[in-house]
Amino acid sequence: MAEPPLISIQSAELTFGGTPLLTDASLSVFPRDRVCLVGRNGSGKSTLMKIAAGLVEPDAGDIVRKPVVNARYLEQSPDLSRFASIRDYIEDGLVGADDASRIPYLLDALGLSGTEAPDNLSGGEMRRAALIRALAPDPDVLLLDEPTNHLDLPAIEWLEAELGRSRAALVLISHDRRFLENLSRRVVWLDRGTTHELDKSFANFEDWRDAMIEQEALDRHKLARKIHREEHWVTHGVSGRRKRNVRRLKELGQLKTSLKSASGPQGNVAITVSEADKSAKRVVEMKDVSFAYGERSIVQDFDLRIMRGDRLAVIGPNGSGKTTLLKLMTGALDAQSGTIRLGDNLEPLVIDQARADLDPDMSLRDAMGDGNESVIVNGHPVHVMRYLKDFLFRPEQATTPLRALSGGEKARVQLARGLRLPSNLLILDEPTNDLDLETLDLLQEMVAEYPGTVILVSHDRDFIDRLAARTLAYEGPADWQLYPGGYADMARQRGKGVEARQGQSQDNPSEKSAKATQTTKPRKGRSEKMSYKETFRLERLPGEMDALRARIDALNAELADPDLYSRDAGRFAEASETLSKATDALDAAEMEWLELEEKREALEG
């Protein structure tokens, strides 16, 4: 006989400000369950989790909690202001017979001492403290709302392993696909106030969701056709008895109401990036670059070349110097030794999650349009209300102050404000925090199609794997290693993922007092040997370049015909466009061959 649920929510309803948020939401949590709760930003996921935690009461519905169940809730924005230290905050979460013996182990595992004052905490430290408070009692149920936000890769992988070993039932809200795939066994999808359940892991969710959406669209089409037939009968059919007509007219009205209420799922974000003119072929070239904060070295004798169209991920634990490295790459910081050369015509766009430029009292409309009625996107004016809609904001939200928005909504505002600016170098510094999975998908598509160069800093393994062509990984103090491919490729080559920095707080060294750290000679961003893929490309590129040169010569000869345009203007335009693409392809192939040949010579030398 199946065990009864520890927490059961059935047919919950909740309305905020006259707008229904939950209309038929259910969630059951069984012993040792592994549930992920997914849905769009603003769909009510956090609210449903708070109902499960007993922090919010619904307007209607049945809620049953098993007596003496020890449940712990991790909120997105914990408040530590009334505590003198992290340890005080953690111990305040213990109640009754809760055992404090796990606290030292958890503090050590997450790189905290417990003596840190809340006033000086970074976002990552606050998140780790809140995790320890939730994990310390070894509860029966863990309700975790975005547990990986602000955590670095070592902490995420540690948390994933810790939760995998836990005896607690898990309910997870997260944008981290890899995290959900590795931990979940069941999915609850909250869509338009109603929950739908899949008794499989998150790895199966998106195909299942898409099939449901397709079936729903088909059902709406059939309903619309039925209404059309009924309306035709009312207008042109035989009258029959009046009583039957009245009944049929009433049924027609009910069908129309059903169609109106059966609106499709919430639309997708319409992400459009404004393009600038092309940059130079070499975007960034760093040669023998060194930089340190006091005695703490960030890079030493570091070499790196970034070419136009490159997709580079920079990964490492918090405090390894990723943000400093970004500033060096973009010229925001000068090297203390060595040279940094930036290509001509660079127009960088930085998108991060600091949101420091967002005034919390500014209205959403003013934030999106800077107080104007329209914004310029890709050279074309777009009315600010249309731009709001493109990023899934409702018209009635236009006057809402930014402080009232959710974390995901603020992330969309940041995206919208950034992407309207022309650029050819896109720098994404932790862009995935607070974004829902659908917006992440579209951001990935936009970055994949972006015509310029992309430098990405992220702790999202799936996001890196989907986008990065090369990965620059932190190997140790001042030591950065360049790997082909994304995070999984890097982990296979290293035999391990990113490891935590040893013996130091995991925070940005520019914001903390620098500590003396033993440095080792970096490997100048090169692999110790060429990969099979690189060797294969080096062998194939000369033939590809010869073929492109032959194609360019043939097109030039064709376009040299003075009568071609008057004889066939379409062919002239087609040949000109093909010539431009072939020339760009040859440039890219030549630069790729040059880079690989230099690497081969350096390794052989």
Q: Alpha-carbon distance 490 to 170, whole Å?
A: 30
Q: Alpha-carbon distance 431 to 165, whole Å?
A: 30
- Tell me, what's the pLDDT at 600? 76
Walk across the sheet containing 470-476 and list its strands: 348-352, 425-429, 453-457, 311-315, 470-476, 479-484
User: ∠ CA 142-147-148 to the nearest 5 degrees?
Assistant: 150
Facing residues of 375 across strands?
A: 382
Contact 114, 87 (CB under 8 A): yes
Q: Which residues of 436-463 are buried (b: 16+ CB within 10 A; e: fewer)?
A: bbbbbbebbebbeebebbbbbbbbbbbb
- Tell me, what's the pLDDT at 245? 58
Return the number of other C-beta atoms located less than 10 Å from residue 33's C-beta.
18
- Tell me, what's the pLDDT at 171? 97
- Tell me, what's the pLDDT at 506? 43
Longest CA–CA span in the chain (Å) reads: 98
Q: Which residues contact 562 (CB under 8 A, 6 or more apart)?
A: none
Measured over the CA atoms of residue 437, residue 443, residue 448 and residue 453, the dihedral's sign is negative
- Nearest partner of 424 among 524, 542, 277, judged by Cα: 277
How are beta strands 470-476 and 479-484 bridged, if at all? antiparallel
- Tell me, what's the pLDDT at 254? 65
Torsion of CA 390, 394, 396, 397, to 10 degrees: -80
Intra-chain end-to-end CA distance of the chain, in Å: 70
- Tell me, what's the pLDDT at 520? 36
* Averaged pLDDT in 10-residue chunks for the chain of 605 residues: 86 86 95 94 89 94 92 90 93 89 94 90 88 95 93 92 95 94 96 93 91 80 69 57 54 59 54 67 92 91 92 90 90 92 88 68 88 83 87 84 79 81 87 78 82 90 91 92 90 81 47 37 48 78 87 86 82 85 80 76 67
Amino acid present at 187: V
Residue 451: strand, helix, or coil? coil
Give the global pTM.
0.70
Amino acid present at 37: L
